[in-house]
Structure 1
Amino acid sequence: MMVSDSRSQHHLYRAIQGVGRFYDFYNIIYKGKSLAANEMRGLMRQFFEAREYGNEKLGWAPVSKKAAIDDVRYASAFSKFCHDNLGTLSINPYEQKLLQDLNISEHTNYYAEIKNRSKWDMLHHLTPETQLGQGIIGNYSFSPKPKLLKQAQHNDYFPPEKVLPLLANTKNIRDFLAFLILFFGGLRESELFHLFATDVTTPIEDEPALIHLTHPELGIYTWDSPFTGAHKGMRAEFLWGRYQLTPRNRLAIKDPMHAGWKGMMYTHKGYGADFYWLVPQMGILFAKLHRKYMHELRSNATDAHPYYFINVKDSDFGRPLTMSNLTKSFYRAAARVGLRASDPGVNPHGARHFYGHFAASFLNIPEHTLQLMMRHASVQSTRIYYSIDERVVRDAIKRGQQKLYEEIPEFVASMNRMIERL
């Protein structure tokens, strides 16, 4: 997976867990007995049901349908690999269909996938040469369908009225900068830990800071070597050549320095993406604090790594900040404003949901614009934010009523006289 498909450590870790669960299911429920091809047809379906609804004998609690589907796909992919390379029977046979054999719904999904590929796949121009481009669709014989994306619930995002109090109760400048990016830049928490110090620039006074986003391995980077001069290459090359470091998304999942990378819509060559401040004033505030942070803290760290966010305590000063430490800082700040980690939306990812919800409901930003702002590969991921907040509805009604009083007072007067007569 990692070599052929460029899968991350986190993806590999989840795949191993899924195959391990299937192995347990087969040995405990089926007692490891040999199965004929026709007996295996129900095996994957029963495994899926055991994951989704739980299984007392295995000690499994019910999980989400998505988690159950993921485990089916991981086990199916492993079975296909064994079938292709070792000649074993396939537990979940892989079938191919021609485009003309698909139903209307499958046709729609096919064309939507082809269209969306151009937004995230740097090699989408080669699609016509692939089986997908030639209308040959492959899938497993048992392939449960995921639930449709539902509208985001109001409790998915960090409480808007607590955002500024949380910032005001943040104890150090590094955490303040990180929280500004989470709430008003819409980054995922893991994306913070791939930023280099050179990725943040402040063009001129009273202008928002500029933040450069790129793939932690494949992103193009330019650097100077005291021995060999100017270089331009991938970030993975720079990290290894300069610091003998591996990109943080490639570290073992349990390594304290590990930081995941889900991917994003790349809008520039070299796997680059744009960054947008939700409120420009917060970008200006960030720029001012950035100058102070670089002068007082970051510039005093030894040149042992290029990362922007560092530990600021004396015992561990200068080392790259870890996700664990920032998450603890986030919950401590939340506790200072009366929030608990168990409260809806009170987590670092809730800050990203706040960004999307505020942009959609309060700023009325169009859907495809917000897709670019949040760097979603698919607009489907953006649509969950377009359930209008009831407070926005109430405010709109109040504004409409005020407009009635101001622009057509005779209508309001007539309406009031009618009510009085009743």
Structure 2
Amino acid sequence: MRRTTGHHYTIVQIGFDARQPGVPVIVTDEDGGRILFEAFYFITRVPHRDKSRTWQGEAVRAIARFYDFYRVVVPDCVIASEQMAGTLIAKFIESQKYGSSWVPELDNSSLYWKALSPADLGKTKQYLSKFLETIAEVKDNALSNAGFKSFALSTYRAVSARRREGDNRSLLYHISETAQKDRKGRYPFPDRAAYKSATVRARHFPFDAVGELIVEGCRRKRRRSEYTGLASEYNLNLLMAVLLCAGAGLRSSEIFHMFVRDVTRKHVRLLHPEHGRVKHQGSFVSRQQFLREVYYRLPRTRLSGAQFAGFKSMAMTEKDSDQEGPYSVAHFLPESIHGIPFREWFYSAHREYILNILPEGADHPYLFVNSSNSDGFGDPWTKTAMRDAFNVAVRKIGLNPDRSKGVHPHGLRHFYGQSLKSLNVSPLVIQTCMHHKTLEAQLAYTSATEVEVNRELTALEATLKRGETYMPQGEPIDLLVFKYKSDPAGLFTTAKIGASSDRLR
């Protein structure tokens, strides 16, 4: 049990279950040592109780500093008005931003701290804001009668004023950088940040190199005699990852959240790594609860270090029942477009992977595991290991890793998007295939390439020289007359999406 001591508090680490790590608790100097119930309530409520130990420790230390500041600055520990509560919070943030010497009220006190770095200041604001938002719950919680209650009653005043005004922004919004910019008014011209948010067409992995990447790049340098079939000849981890990313458009980060049970005979299922539902002991529970109760693990989105894996929000388009919850499925490219049977090859590799690579009795449910001869064999596969294996594979076929040229794991997803566009697939279908929540999200994946632009401009020039009216190649009557349910504004018309059942007359 570790202790951190301030002027009016001590932080101790208390474990309530031998199987779970302890939580940091603030013990005040009131009444011979009383737990600060407000902080205890905050750190043990969902979702904070499932945060990493680092997150919990930083949050509790920020609350403890605020509590110390409150005890020194507020006479008799009573905040008489909402204005006083707001001033208290603002002054505390100033003391964190510029140091304790910046606040006159601390001149005669023994409190002293240096100015925080911008990154740490941002975290402190975040933690304090989330903490203050729970004050209303604490005030109405009967259990708080057993704890130190005046702190909650006092700081609650700052929250209640905003709730009556209907202001649902962060409690600390008025001292944020965004608010300061708002007070200065709008800029007469867009700033540099505006240009960074523009949609830019990213490079896709070269069309003519994907087949070679699969067949030759994923091949092992030497056979593994302990395995049979494909497993002895191919790095099945990398092979399956490439087939999913290039053939089904998955983001490379999404494969690290896949459970073994997510691959069925019919579908490759995609679920949210925390809120996706999984069957456990006769009922459906969240993946977060399943990982905690069965494997004593956190979702990889909540881990740090090598085992962390991000997750970008995706559209969940399928739902078999309310209990099972929403999910999505991988949509493989047809073999005819590149001559590659992505789906068939994936399931063949998956079958060999299950038989040869996946260890029995693993201490996690993840599909992709470390298959190298090392101490970490069987551990969840990491993004670093995947990227290293990918770089070796592309060099093997004569390419150099270069994100700007699409030779990167995410370039495979762009390859998928461009492949769908080349088939004249409706934007609505592309949105579903790529699991985008909006049509606009696919612009970076399906915008015209340099070759396509040059071809169109050359056709335009030739037409004008002949004195004719230029008409895009394709189906003129469709392009001029029909509208598409998935493209009501006509944004994608110039992409020649062609005739489909998606159009409106």
TM-score, with normalisation over the residues of structure 2?
A: 0.50
What SS does the corresponding residue of 2:246 show, helix, strand or coil?
A: helix
Q: Deviations over 1:13-57 (max 9, x none)?
A: 7xx79x99xxxx978995655369xxxxxxxxxxxxxxxxxxxxx
Secondary structure at the counterpart of residue 221 of structure 1: strand
* 3-state SS of 2:318 partner: coil
Number of the residue aligned with 1:313: 372
**CA distance change for structure 1 residues 394 and 194 in 2, over 3 Å: closer, same or farther?**
same
Residue 274 of structure 1 is matched in structure 2 by: 329
Using the size of structure 1 for normalisation, the TM-score is 0.59
| 1:16-415 equivalence runs, <5 A | 30=98, 33-34=101-102, 77-78=126-127, 80-81=129-130, 138=169, 140-141=173-174, 143=178, 147=194, 149-155=197-203, 157-167=204-214, 168-171=216-219, 172-203=235-266, 210-223=267-280, 230-241=282-293, 243-249=294-300, 251-254=302-305, 256-269=306-319, 270-280=325-335, 281-298=341-358, 301-315=360-374, 316-344=376-404, 345-360=406-421, 362-393=422-453
Describe the superposition over 1:284-307 as per-residue Cα deviations: whole angstroms up to 9, x where unpaired.
221222222222333x54343322
Distance 2:447 2:48 in 1: 35
In 2, distance between residues paired with 1:266 and 1:7?
27
Is the CA contact (8 Å cut-off) linking 2:288 and 2:299 kept in structure 1? no
Tell me the number of residue pairs that the alignment of Structure 1 and Structure 2 aligns.
322
1:39-97 Cα offsets, whole Å, 9 max, x none, are xxxxxxxxxxxxxxxxxxx9x9xxxxxxx9xx997665456457766779xxxxx9899
Q: Is the 8 A contact 1:186 1:356 kept in 2?
A: yes
Measured after TM superposition, the shift of residue 169 of structure 1 is 1.2
Aligned-pair distance for 1:160? 3.3
**Larger gyration radius, structure 1 or structure 2:** 2
Q: 1:249 to 1:399 in 2, by over 3 A?
A: same
Query: 2:252 & 2:49 partners in 1: Cα distance?
Result: 20
User: 2: distance between equivalents of 1:8 and 1:385?
Assistant: 35
Q: Output the CA distance in 2 between the equivalents of 1:7 and 1:279.
A: 45
| 2:295–2:363 contact (8 Å) kept in structure 1 | no
The answer to whether the Cα contact below 8 Å between 1:9 and 1:253 also exists between their aligned partners in 2 is: no
Residue 279 of structure 2: SS of its match in structure 1? strand
Letter in 1 for 2:368: F
Identify the residue that residue 113 of structure 1 maps to in structure 2. none
CA RMSD of aligned residues (A): 4.8
Quickly say closer, same or farther: Cα 1:8–1:372, change in 2 above 3 A: farther
Cα 1:161–1:75 change in 2 (3 A) is farther
Whether contact under 8 Å (1:180, 1:286) holds in the other structure is: yes
Task: Quickly say closer, same or farther: Cα 1:7–1:363, change in 2 above 3 A.
Answer: farther
- The one-letter amino acid paired with 2:274 is E
Q: Cα–Cα, structure 1 residues 398 and 193, in superposed 2: closer, same or farther, change >3 Å? A: same
Q: Contact (CA 8 Å) 1:265, 1:377: kept in 2 or not? A: yes
Q: Is the 8 A contact 2:315 2:437 kept in 1?
A: yes
Deviations 1:223-278 (A, max 9, x none): 5x6xxxx443333343344x423243255312x33322233212234131232113
Matching residue of 1:44: none
- 2:15 maps to which residue? none
Amino acid at match of 1:152: V
Change (3 A) 1:28 1:319: closer
**Alignment partner, residue 102 of structure 1:** none
* Distance apart, 1:396 and its partner CA: 6.3
1:290–1:32 Cα change, 3 Å = same
Q: Which has the higher contact order (CA 8 A, sep 6+)?
A: 1
Q: In structure 1, how many angstroms separate the alpha carbons of the residues matched to 2:425 and 2:95?
A: 53
Q: Distance in 1 between matches of 2:122 and 2:356?
A: 49
Work out the percentage of aligned pairs sharing the same amino acid.
25
Deviation at 1:194, TM superposition (A): 1.5
Looking at structure 1, the residues matched to 424 and 122 of structure 2 have their Cα atoms a distance apart, in angstroms, of 38
Question: Which residue identity lines up with residue 392 of structure 2 in the other structure?
Answer: R
**Mapped partners of 2:121, 2:242: distance in 1:** 37
Q: Are 1:97 and 1:138, in contact at CA under 8 Å, matched by a contact in 2?
A: no
Aligned residue type for 1:279 = P
Q: What amino acid does structure 2 have at the position aligned with 1:324?
A: T
Per-residue CA distance 1:183-233 (angstroms, 9 max, x = gap):
222222221112122211234xxxxxx20111223222225x6xxxx4433
Letter in 2 for 1:158: F
Q: Secondary structure at the match of 2:445?
A: coil
Shift, 1:182, TM fit: 1.4
SS class of match (1:305): coil
- Rounded Cα–Cα distance in structure 2 between residues aligned with 1:352 and 1:365: 16
Closer/same/farther in 2, CA of residues 237 and 4 from structure 1, 3 Å limit = closer
Q: Tell me: CA distance 1:348–1:248, structure 2 relative to 1, closer, same or farther (3 Å).
A: farther
Q: Does the 8 A contact of 1:216 with 1:247 survive in 2?
A: no
Is the 1:249–1:261 Cα contact (8 Å) retained in structure 2?
Answer: no
CA distance in 2, matches of 1:30, 1:305: 45
* CA distance 1:388–1:95, shift in 2 (3 Å): farther
